[in-house]
Structure 1
Amino acid sequence: MLSSLKLSHIVAGAVAVLVGYTGSVAIIFQAIEASGASQAQANSWMLALGLGMGLTSLALSLMYRMPILTAWSTPGAALLAVSLTDVPLSDAIGAFLFCAALLILTGVTGWFAALSRLIPDGLANAMLAGLLFPFGLAAFSAFQSDTALVAAMVVTFVAGRRLFARYTIPAVLAVGILWCLGDGSFTDTALLDLTLAQPVLMTPSFSLPVLIGVGLPLYVVTMSSQNMPGVVTLKAAGYAPPVSASLIVTGAASFVLAPFGGFAFNLAAITAAIGCGPEADENPKTRYMAGVMTGVFYILVGLGGATVISLFLITPTALIATVAGLALLSTIGNSLSAALADARGRDAALITFMVTVSGVSFFGIGAAFWALVVGIAVNHLITPPPPNTATAGTAADPARP
């Protein structure tokens, strides 16, 4: 396995963890605060979340030889941040266990895997492009706030694509770090916390109103806003994800770690795109090592507890946004190209892309889910069926031999 390890795998894993934490760690802190957890319990939450993401990413990537990245449920954390006020912490832990049991049941029954097979590839690619589009845009929007840093990183990116394509993103990250060190952007070292997180067992209790009001919505938003886009991301990259097995593994991790603060784990989408893209590895068969390295870094971040989190907090926002956006450019371009390749389904794909980018949300369910619902409906209503004749079918599908 180590013989397959490349620098690009290590960088992809590091960037995925960087994006995963900086993109939503503030929401996690809000959820922890709403739960009324003590400082020791808060550190346990972060430890459990890091270990859960790391171990599940590591296990699934090794078992299935795919870059299967997992994540905490970000919309679930947002839900908890507004739902756990005045809810006893023990009841919240009970709701986490209830959600985990539902995730395991969903994986065992296999109904979600069957549903995912109904999504056309064009719509999957359109949704993925829409999910990643804001990250690509943010890389260039950062010009406004930190022109010199972003310009140096973009110049490095362009030169790297021309001269050393395989190491472009590592070079961009290195230039960004060196630039920030040179201009003093990492000066707020007083925020560094060198303590290690320790697990704290939080005994669950079960309240029917909390199970229905917190546990059930946590399950719904995790499935619709996280697991569905996660499956689509892997499909769009050309993989056949083990949907049911992934749900069982992430559900089991949620069940085991819930008493320590690991409220819900699921398939990742945005960070998974980093590991699934050509920047991680030109060879799709060995990209799973990017998932392995992501898992290793997540475990280290979890064990590091507050130390690593404080490092993220002192990292300039422009550096994170630019590295993430440039690392995802290839995936965005490939997804858009695949989504619009078939003229018959182009309208449905464009609508799926636009709804995803819009960020609309109804009933606490994010835009990615609604984009697929609308896209599938439009695809069914207006997309003409493929030609019946063999000759016409061959002409309409250039990839067909």
Structure 2
Amino acid sequence: MLEQTAPSRAWYVQPLLAGLLASVVGYASTFTLVLAGLTAVGATPAQAGSGLFAVCIALGLLNIAIAWRTRIPVSVAWSTPGVAFLATVGGVEGGFPAVVGAFIVTAALIVLAGVWKPFSRAVSAIPAPIANAMLAGILLTLCIAPLRAVEALPLLTLPVVAAWVVGLAFFRRYAVPVAVAVAFVILALNTHLQGSTVANSAPALSFVFPVFTLDAFVRVAIPLFIITMASQNLPGLAVMKANGYELDPAPAFSITGIASAIIAPFGAHTVNLAAITAAICAGPEAHPDPARRWVAPVAAGVGYLIFALGSGLAAALIAASPQLLIQAVAGLALMSSLAQALSGALAHDQDRLPAVVTFVTAASGVTIFGIGAAFWGIVAGILLTLVFRLRR
């Protein structure tokens, strides 16, 4: 009798471990990119730390509340491609307050996608190769950063790259967290933080009064919304469906959009349905029984709440570190995303040339009429796609 009941009593151990793994992978892989992206659009170290703190709190609470309420392993994450895009935007008219305003607009558009079906269908109608090509163009600059760092800082960068390569060879899922851990050891040994800085690094929320500008709307809000929907929300729904869960997108989009609007004034970018970590929490490795996998996102939420406590110290360390090395770590973390985006962009012959035009335009970094390259990449790709379809 004991041999039969013991496994049932401990059924929650497997999804707990899977959820904690998801939070470690999700946080450790790209939290440096979150800080770098926010800093690139004008956030101070304190504001970047506040943004990381707020988004971790939101992820923790949303993962726990949604999974507990629905008993479905719905996972929420931040948009890694979204913060990668922020790292390429450059200065925005109105500074970081205008970027915060753009975050709120992006959140409103996500809610609109949830409550207004025609708008959601219009977003879904953007050809997947074009969306993937735009994302690949955005990621390219960041993925080149490790090479630049090897050239400029070889003694600091080569051990990080080596750790990443070894991780890919022997434990692929942990490759990026291992590289991040090695980078932090190197930074700890080579970066000197003042005692007062460490003492004052407790996580804290810093309110930023939002400003709404046309420049931030066009250059930040619209591309960030498209990236979030195309690279996170829609793939997240697909992951859930592939694992046997039919998820109504309307409530999911509305809840994550409202949460994004609430945390935006504290410097945080959008939250959305998870894609990569969703596969960990909703897949068979979380538990053989699909009805018991909901525990995994709950455990992931607890993990994010724990990580939130270190956001202030992480921001202080990143601010005092060589920025090129931070960009190199972020680039390594995005290599798999770049490979996936390129694969999706070039998968079909009939869409290949429009996708290449989108990729080249988005990667060019050009600004026309004050509008950034990501937007023009989408426009160019869609126009060329329409020309080809009319010809056919």
* TM > 0.5: yes
Q: Partner amino acid for 1:29?
A: A
Q: Please give the per-residue CA displacement for 1:63-122, whole angstroms capped at 9, x wherever unaligned.
A: 6635642578957994541777xxxxxxx99x9988866764453223431112212222
Q: Equivalent residues in 2 for 1:75-224 (5 A)?
A: 78-81=92-95, 104-105=111-112, 107-181=114-188, 184-190=189-195, 191-194=197-200, 196=202, 214=212, 223-224=221-222
Q: Please give the per-residue CA displacement for 1:311-352, whole angstroms capped at 9, x wherever unaligned.
A: 221344344223322222222223212321212211011011
Distance 2:302 2:282 in 1: 21
Partner of 1:394: none
Partner of 1:324: 330
Is 1:10 matched with 2:24?
yes
Distance 1:255 1:336 in 2: 31
Q: Equivalent residues in 2 for 1:312-351 (5 A)?
A: 312-351=318-357
Unaligned runs of 5+ in 1: 33-38, 85-91, 205-209, 387-401
Q: Partner amino acid for 2:377?
A: A
Distance 1:138 1:163 in 2: 24
Q: Equivalent residues in 2 for 1:230-269 (5 A)?
A: 230-234=228-232, 239-240=237-238, 244-257=250-263, 261-262=265-266, 265-267=269-271
What SS does the aligned partner of 1:188 have? coil
Q: Please give the per-residue CA displacement for 1:45-68, whole angstroms capped at 9, x wherever unaligned.
A: 776565446545776788663564
- Taking only the aligned residue pairs, the percentage that are identical comes to 28
Unaligned runs of 5+ in 2: 1-14, 240-247, 287-292
Among 18, 35, 38, which residue is 1:21 paired with?
35
Is 1:65 matched with 2:65?
no
Q: Please give the per-residue CA displacement for 1:184-219, whole angstroms capped at 9, x wherever unaligned.
A: 3122335435254566899x9xxxxx9xx8277766
Q: Partner amino acid for 1:142?
A: A
What SS does the aligned partner of 2:152 have? coil
Q: Pick which of 64-73 and 156-165 moved more.
A: 64-73
Distance 2:64 2:272 in 1: 13
Distance 1:144 1:288 in 2: 46
Distance 2:295 2:32 in 1: 17
What SS does the aligned partner of 1:214 have? coil
Q: Pick which of 59-68 and 17-26 moved more.
A: 59-68
Q: CA deviation at 1:137?
A: 0.7
Q: Partner amino acid for 2:229?
A: V
Q: 1:113 to 1:327 in 2, by over 3 A?
A: same
Q: CA deviation at 1:301?
A: 6.2
Distance 2:90 2:186 in 1: 36
Q: Pick which of 98-107 and 332-341 moved more.
A: 98-107
| Contact 1:8–1:170 under 8 Å retained in 2 | no
Distance 1:126 1:291 in 2: 31
Q: CA deviation at 1:140?
A: 1.4
Partner of 1:373: 379
Among 306, 314, 317, which residue is 1:311 paired with?
317
Q: Please give the per-residue CA displacement for 1:280-324, whole angstroms capped at 9, x wherever unaligned.
A: 899698699998888667655655564442122134434422332
Is 1:355 matched with 2:361?
yes
Q: 1:283 to 1:201 in 2, by over 3 A?
A: closer
Aligned length, in residue pairs: 354
TM-score normalised by the chain length of structure 1: 0.67
Q: Partner amino acid for 1:69?
A: W
| Contact 2:94–2:213 under 8 Å retained in 1 | no
Q: Pick which of 327-336 and 102-111 moved more.
A: 102-111
Distance 1:11 1:111 in 2: 35
Distance 1:239 1:157 in 2: 30
Q: Please give the per-residue CA displacement for 1:116-138, whole angstroms capped at 9, x wherever unaligned.
A: 22122222222222222122111
Q: CA deviation at 1:23?
A: 2.3
Distance 1:129 1:98 in 2: 24
Distance 1:219 1:301 in 2: 31
Distance 1:163 1:42 in 2: 34
